[in-house]
Structures are given as C-alpha cells and as structure tokens.
Amino acid sequence: MFGPLGYSLAPTVRSSRTLHKYLKPVADWYANLAGYRKMGLKYDDLLVEENDEVEKAISRLPAREQYDRAFRFKVASQCSVQHGPLPKEKWLPASEDKRYLKPYVQEAIAEAEERAAWDTMEVSRK
Amino acid sequence: MLASTTRSVSRLARSSRTFATVVDSAGVKVAAVDYGQPTSAVTFLVKGGSRFETKPGVAHALKNFAFKSTGKRSALGTVRESELYGGVLSSTLSREHLALTAEFLRGDEEFFVDVLSSFITSAKYTRHEFEEFVLPSLEADSLAAQADPLTRALELAHTLAFRSGLGSSLFASPHAHLTHQDIQSYASSIFTKGNLAVLGTGIDQATLSKLVEKSLASLSASGAAPSTTPSSYFGGESRLENAHGPQTVFIGFGATGVPSAELAALSAHLSSTPSVKWSQGTSPVSAGIPEDASVQTVLLPYSDAALFGLIVQGATPEAVKEAAKVAVKALKEAAAPGGIKNEDFGKAVSKAKFQAASAIDSRDGLFSVLGAKVLAGSQASVDSTLTALDKLTPSAFSKTSSTLLKAKPTFVAVGDANALPFPDEVGL
C-alpha cells in the first residue's frame, strides 16, 4: 500500500468520462502546484528509490533515460542551491511529464512477487 | 582374426541404434527412438550454428539466451518448474547447429516439449535479461575458452582454414557489440519449421509428433533460410602467446566437400590413443614421441568441408617440437603411395568403423551425428559411413591423403610463442 506505486484512483477516473472532465483540471492544477516541473523534474523522478524494486527498475532504464534522469537531478539540485525555480521557459512542459519509470517498476515488482510465490509454494501430488 | 573383427563390427552396425523413421509433423522433422531407458530426452536441433551468424557472436548469444522468459513463463518459472519435474535443460552450439535439449523422467514430455517450443515460438529477448544474465555468461564462456590452449588453437585453426562461414568463432568476443535486437532478429531468421528437427530418445514417436505438432503450430513454415557460402579451404600459420596450460601445436589440413571415409581412416591410423589402457598403442605416432608430450588426431567433419589435424601438446616447447616432427613424419609416410602396410590399413579401417559405430551409442553422439542427417533429410543411420569404410582401398586412401597434404597446412602454435616450432622446423 505504501509502495512506490501505491493505490491510485486514476484508472477509475480515466474510465469515466464525466469524472475525467471535472477532475482533469484539478489534477493539472495540483501537478503544477507541486512545483517539481518548475525544477525541471518529472513525476517519476520523485519515486522513493530506496527500495529494491525501484533500484532494479532504475538499473534497467535505457542508457539515454539514465543520463537524462541524472541530468534533471543536477539541474534540480542547482535550483535548490540558488533558492529558486528555473526560468519559466525551462519548466518541464506537461506533455513531457511521462511515467518513464513506472513500467520498469511494475515489471520488477511482478518479478519479486513471482519469486516469493515460487519460494513459498506447496507441492501436491496429482 | 582381423576378418572376424570386421564381421562383428558390421553386425554391430546392423543392430546399431538408429532412428527408425523420420516423420514430417506439420513441416517439422521428428525422429524418436525408444529402448526403454528410464529417462527421456528431447532435442530441438536448429540449423543455426556459428557459420550462419549475421553478426560475430550472435549465435553464441542466442545459445546463452535459451530458457529465458517467454510468452508462457518467466525465466525463473522455467527453472523452478523444471526443478520440480527433475529435468535438466541445456543448450549447445556447434558450427553448424544450435541444440536445445531437455532431459527428464518418462511421462513429463508434455511439459518439457512445451518449455522447448515456447522458447522457439515466443521468447521475449528482453533487454534487461540480455544485460543481466546473457552478457555475463557470454563473458564467462569466452574467458574460459581463452584460458584453454586447445580451444584457442582449434578456434584459430578454423579461422585460418575457412576464414568466413566455418571460420567464425563459436565464442562471442568480449568486444562484440551485440544488442538484444540482433539476437531477436537472428532467432527469427533461423527458427522456422524447415530449419528445425526434433529428436527424441526414450519417447514414443507418435507421442512426440503429436506434442510437436500442437506446440509448434504457430511457427512460420518457411522464411529466408540462413544462407552461407560454400566453404573453401585456405590454410595459414599463426602463433599465440598463452601463459597457462600445456604448450600446444595444431597441424591441420582441410578438405572441402562431404567428409570422406578416407579421412576417417587416416585419422584412425594416426590416432595414438591406445586400444588397451596404459599401453603405448601401435600407431606410427605413439612410438616415437617423448614421454611428456602427446599427439591426438582430430577429424572435424562438417556438411561441406572437414578439418583434419594433429594436436601436439607437451610440458615444454622442446618436447612439442620433437613430437610434432614424429607426427608429421608419420602423416607424410601414411600419405605416400604404398606408404601404408595392408595390415595397418585394415587396422585403421576397423578402428574408424568402431569409432563411427560407437559414436551413436551415447545420446549426445546420437543427436549430433544423426541429428544433422535428420535435418538434411538423408537416411538417419551410420550404415552409409560404415559401407564407405568397408569399400575403402589402400590406393584410394593414399591418394586422398596425398591430395590433402598438397594443400597449404594450417599451423597454430599456442603457448610460449618464442620457443614453439615453426612449420618448416617440424618438416611441413
């Protein structure tokens, strides 16, 4: 429940057209308010990475994605040093805020679950 | 006495283990044989060895990719489930073929045929598996091959002898720039119905055919079959520094065309492996070589060429030089017209016949010797080899041997490259 990809109502919201219509502006407003885009970060950069599955997922990113991720962190820490966000033209546009890490984390979690299942299985005679 | 030996060998040949029939099951050749062994084995033999590879090392990488995640089960699932059944999965690569083998207890064939065929039909070739499992295993394989002087000598000898095609190495170089897409595209080019033979031991032919028909139904019937140019022999000389293991020299000669019976007889004639353990043997080579050196003959037959050679190994370069001189002298004597005595010739033919017949005694031998024949669609038995050896005459033998020796030799020295002999020093 408190994992890197905790429970989310997003799929339910997205499946209903009315809910989506009313909640999307609120969600966009909230995402901008959170301020990570002003630091040039993506949402998946905020995933807690002190965790086996996320570490594994990060190690499985393509080389280019890993480089970009490290670069965004450098930019963000420079912003922190300067006590201010990036100039507005350098903010991360909402269109680029993709869940680039999520599929890898999901795969790593599925693998860990499968391993746990095999480790604790009971063999029964047919 | 010799006559009775010959007779008993041919009797052995007639009752020898061989695939009774080859059935074309939905486009895939299926051959099985059952002697009532307690375990069964199924091999998927694919014409996709290193000679067909599109990029250096890709065949080796595909071999190490075997049994990773597929559309049906993950890599972990494959391993754990096979362990529960008590089966052994293995993949082997030769210059001509890639073989995926499962050995298991009788009755578990449904699961293991499914494991093998799901790799053929729906392997995922994921990038993370390639980087996390396949690349380290490729590196380990290549390192082990590098450390073994014999493997190094044979790899280099193939490159010198055949250059491309059969000359390409069985091992991916540590510097090969392979990606998982390379492997996927190579796999999709060789995994077609026409390029695949399914061989089984300890399993009923009908059962295996039915399982194969069901599980390989989705496989594409044909495609661009892997192509290779016909092999031609070049020869050459090379020396490698190697810090570990015995000093090694390989002296080889290549022949193109289907490997002949004469070569098998020549190999048997020179082979210094004694028929009685701890004895010296009566081969012309074994008498003269120093005690701390050894000479082995190798005959590596391929579909359109063969590499015949002598491997001389010893503790010191001097011993290797002495032994190589003796071996080359014996080889030249055997090749000279009338150089082989009738008695020696009969002995060599019997030995060659025994080797050919006993090769298919073991499961590995059965799969590697007869598997190629099943795949090529020719008769799956060693009868033709034995008949050819029976028909051999001393004159044909020396004629083939002398033609073989007229070509440029393949000479490889691995070890102390400063002290090991050069070809002219051993009489080549």
Q: pLDDT of chain B along its 428 residues, tens only?
A: 444 444 444 444 444 456 766 777 778 889 998 888 899 999 999 999 999 998 999 999 999 999 999 999 999 999 999 999 999 999 999 999 999 999 999 999 999 999 999 999 999 999 999 999 999 999 999 999 999 999 999 999 999 999 988 999 999 988 888 999 999 999 999 999 888 999 999 999 999 999 999 999 888 877 666 777 889 999 999 999 998 889 999 999 999 988 889 999 999 999 988 888 888 888 888 888 888 899 999 999 998 999 999 999 999 999 999 999 999 999 999 888 888 888 999 999 999 999 999 988 888 888 888 888 888 887 778 888 888 899 999 888 988 898 999 999 999 999 999 999 999 999 88
- List residues in chain B touching A: CB distance below 8 A: 74, 76-77, 80, 84, 127-128, 131
How far off is chain A from B64, nearest CA to CA, in Å?
20
User: What confidence score (pLDDT) does residue B7 get?
Assistant: 46
Answer whether residue B227 is part of any domain: no
Which chain B residues are Cβ-neighbours of A115 within 8 angstroms?
76
Q: What is the pLDDT of residue B24?
A: 76
Cβ-nearest to A118 among B76, B127, B131:
B76
**One domain, residues B342 and B390:** yes
pLDDT in tens, A11-46: 888 899 999 999 999 988 998 899 999 999 999 999
B219 CA: distance to closest CA in chain A (Å): 27
- Give contacts of A118 with chain B, Cβ < 8 Å: 76-77, 80
Phi, psi of B21 (to 5 degrees): -140, 155
The percent helix, strand, coil of chain A (3-state, each to 5) is: 65, 0, 35
Q: Is there a contact between B84 and A114 if contact means CB atoms under 8 Å apart?
A: no
Element (H, E) at B111: helix B109-122
Residue A23 domain-assigned (yes or no): no
- Give the range of the structural domain holding residue A99, as residue numbers without chain letter: 36-106
E strand or H helix that includes residue B308: strand B305-314
Cβ A123–B80 below 8 Å, yes or no? no
The pTM for the full model equals 0.89
Number of domains in chain B: 2
Query: Would you place residue A2 in the very low, low, confident or very high pLDDT band (cuts 50, 70, 90)?
Result: low
For residues B145 and B153, what is the distance between their CA atoms, to the nearest angstrom?
Answer: 10
What's the mean pLDDT when you consider all of chain A? 91
Interchain pair B127, A115: CB under 8 A? no
Q: H or E segment at A112?
A: helix A102-119
Is residue B222 one of the residues assigned to a domain? no
Chain B CB within 8 Å of residue A61 CB: no
Distance from CA of A51 to the nearest CA of B (A): 18
Looking at the fold, whether B289 and B209 belong to one and the same domain comes out as no
Which letter, b or e, does each residue of B317-347 get, where b requires 16 or more Cβ atoms within 10 Å of its Cβ?
A: bbbbbbbbbbbbebbeebbeeebbeeebbbb
- What residues make up the domain containing B190? 19-215
A vs B: CB pairs below 8 A: 14
> pLDDT tens digit string along B244-271?
889 999 999 999 988 889 999 999 999 9
Same domain, residue pair B200 and B245 = no
User: CATH number of the domain that A64 lies in?
Assistant: 1.10.1090.10
Domain contains A80: yes
B178 close to B61: Cβ distance less than 8 angstroms: yes
